[in-house]
Chain A
């Protein structure tokens, strides 16, 4: 009898604990999701203007999305979207390659500058990237990359150029792949390149995915470099500049709801990438594959 009550009270206690935990989690989840829901609701709002007195829109419409793609005379959103996509995809490919190659070299090859390079990268990584912004602009101008379509190239260079410095996470992962595997491959006559592409990379899918994700997101979302380098070339604007423009004094009243629609749209490619690669992502962050 006594044992039974004990069991029941333990059950009860667990139930209470679970309830408290779930309530807290629900509140936190609500707080986190709240702004996103608000943006999505605003993007479908039919009332114009930047300020409304009610949380839920009075009426819904798709016009904000339609306007983004049809009203291109002042702010050409489709073009900005394509510009950004192109730049992001190119710099994603480039910087993924840089990061993985540098990480592999630092993890596997022994050379004199290895330690100094890692220290240097560590120190350089402490400075914010936009510190060099104006210098980067003048260098690009001297090479003649700040006009016309070359701006896209300039931005791709900007976003991928520093990738070699952010090798730490990928290198840490490569370090956990046993070196014996490499040695076995060397004995079988593999070159370093073959080891890299045929053995290390297939064993490191999580970190490859992680690198692809992060290197896609930074150019996709960047504002500062794009703003400094694009200047008055409106046909080269990226989405971030376009969205920023929509909030200027002259446009905010008529473009505010379309701004929300644009914000929803640019999160779609990222959301797709994440959904598609999510399980790898978690693996990649949590640590290594053993042997």
Chain B
């Protein structure tokens, strides 16, 4: 009897605390609507050293909307990991957050990303290029407010390579040491795509599958085997590229805007930034094609004050906010009006990233099956590095990579 009493008591306690946990309301006072908005961003956006971009922008937003009495709650989640957090538990996640577009399906599968429509969609579409909008569109619906593009390009030492040299990778290899992340599957497909290989049709049609097979792919594999053996070529892994730039043993690397400051420190005034070069395959020039994506501000469909959340997202992706982001943290803007301004378009980093995005990249597919495409490519790179992929078995190995990319995963 005593034991049963205890059990009842425990159950009751649990029930009470559960109700307490769920209870949250929004009251209103003084004619203003009380709103609580939770916002997630990477920690640099909130740090004092880089100007508290997020706090500043949110306060400005609050000033522009006197009809709301907004309380902001800030959390830290960078663009790459936010999707995982939001998909894990959308209800307890931020109302407004930043995410990288390749994680879009993770969240739409979990019903954790709101669609933008009506005047908001028009506003976003009018200030961004079609490519950027396409990177956030799935089944005709727009899922975020883009604020920057995300891709990789080339850093080089101006004292080693001339403007002419950097147009072709093979020319560069004759003049200096080049490092490329051959074992990283975000970078390696650039060669294959450059020679006509495709992923899911134009990147959105899952049924078309991956086409990394046939002669065109085998040619590239053979090219890469020779490239790896070139005495002026180094594989960039675990930060060896940037270390090589520092001690002068390497003169060009491939990376993204996140390494800009480190490269600047290493090369000083000799720092050159450019879009991707071409490479010479059987006497023909082929353009390397990077994966490109975007970073965007998303809204949680579970939030209490949808209008305020969407307005805030649009504001954080506006030209004004992007300019502040660029000035404070060097986040490269993607707003078309901003890109026309001289102060911004004169920056070689901005130019390189945008040129890569517009001309030497393909939209990184974000269909679910894309998840199967990373490991086989990485294994190909590793096989080339350790010599298990040779000219003799290149055709076979390329075919098995293609097969693995098209298979259902594990």
- The residues of A with any CB-CB pair to B shorter than 8 Å are 47-53, 73-75, 134, 137-138, 141-144, 146, 228, 231-234, 248-250, 252-254, 256
Contacts and interface: CB of A to CB of B under 8 A. Distances in A.
Nearest to A232: B75
* Chain B, interface residues (CB within 8 Å), range: 35 or more
Given A232-B85, A234-B76, A254-B262, A51 B21 contact: no
B392 interface: no
B239 A248 contact: no
Contacts of A74: 43-44, 47, 49
B8 interface: no
Interface string B153-194: 000000000000000000000000000000000000000000
Nearest to A50: B239
A49 B239 contact: yes
A232 B89 contact: no
B367 interface: no
Interface in B228-248: 238-240, 242-243, 246-247
B40 interface: yes
Contact of A233 (B42, B75, B242): B75
Contact of B40 (A73, A134, A232, A249): A232
A49 to B, nearest CB: 5
B259 interface: yes
B75 A231 contact: yes
Nearest to B256: A249
- A contact face: mostly helix, strand, loop, or mixed: loop
B78 A51 contact: no
Nearest to B73: A147
A138 B89 contact: yes
Interface string B88-111: 110011100000000000000000
Interface string B35-65: 0000010111001111000000000000000
A49 B258 contact: no
Contacts of B242: 49, 51, 253
Contacts of B258: 249-250
B20 interface: yes
The 5 residue pairs across chains A and B that have the minimum distance between CB atoms:
A232-B75, A144-B21, A50-B239, A234-B76, A73-B47
A8 B247 CA distance: 59
A228 B81 CA distance: 12
A51 B88 contact: no
A144 B17 CA distance: 8
Contacts of A75: 43
Interface of B: 14, 17-18, 20-22, 40, 42-44, 47-50, 75-78, 80, 82, 85, 88-89, 92-94, 238-240, 242-243, 246-247, 249, 258-259, 262
Give the secondary structure class of B's interface: helix
A51 B43 contact: no
Contacts of A232: 40, 75-77, 82, 85, 93-94
A234 B238 CA distance: 27
Nearest to B23: A144
A51 B77 contact: no
Contacts of B42: 250
Given A73-B48, A141-B21, A141-B89, A253 B77 contact: no
Given A49-B243, A53-B247, A146 B92 contact: yes
Contact of B43 (A146, A234, A256): A234
Contacts of B85: 231-232
Contacts of B20: 144
Contacts of A234: 43, 75-76
Given A142-B18, A234-B75, A51 B89 contact: no
Contacts of A231: 75, 77, 85, 88-89, 92-93
A252 B259 CA distance: 10
A52 B247 CA distance: 10
Interface centre among A47, A49, A50 (most CB of B within 10 A): A49
B21 A142 contact: yes
A256 B235 CA distance: 20
B2 to A, nearest CB: 15
Looking at A75, A232, A253, the one whose CB has the most chain B CB atoms below 10 A away is A232
Nearest to A254: B262
| From A50, A231, A253, residue with most partner B Cβ within 10 Å | A231
Given A143-B18, A231-B75, A256-B239, A47 B89 contact: no
Contacts of B82: 232
Given A51-B238, A51-B239, A51-B240, A248 B89 contact: no
Nearest to A148: B73
Nearest to A75: B43
A134 B78 CA distance: 21
A25 to B, nearest CB: 32
A253 B239 contact: yes
Nearest to A134: B88
Given A50-B238, A137-B88, A228-B88, 4 more contacts: A51-B240, A73-B49, A144-B17, A231-B88
A254 B262 CA distance: 8
A100 to B, nearest CB: 23
Contacts of A233: 75-76
Contact of B89 (A48, A53, A137, A254): A137
Contact of B243 (A53, A137, A146): A53
Contacts of A228: 88
B243 A51 contact: yes
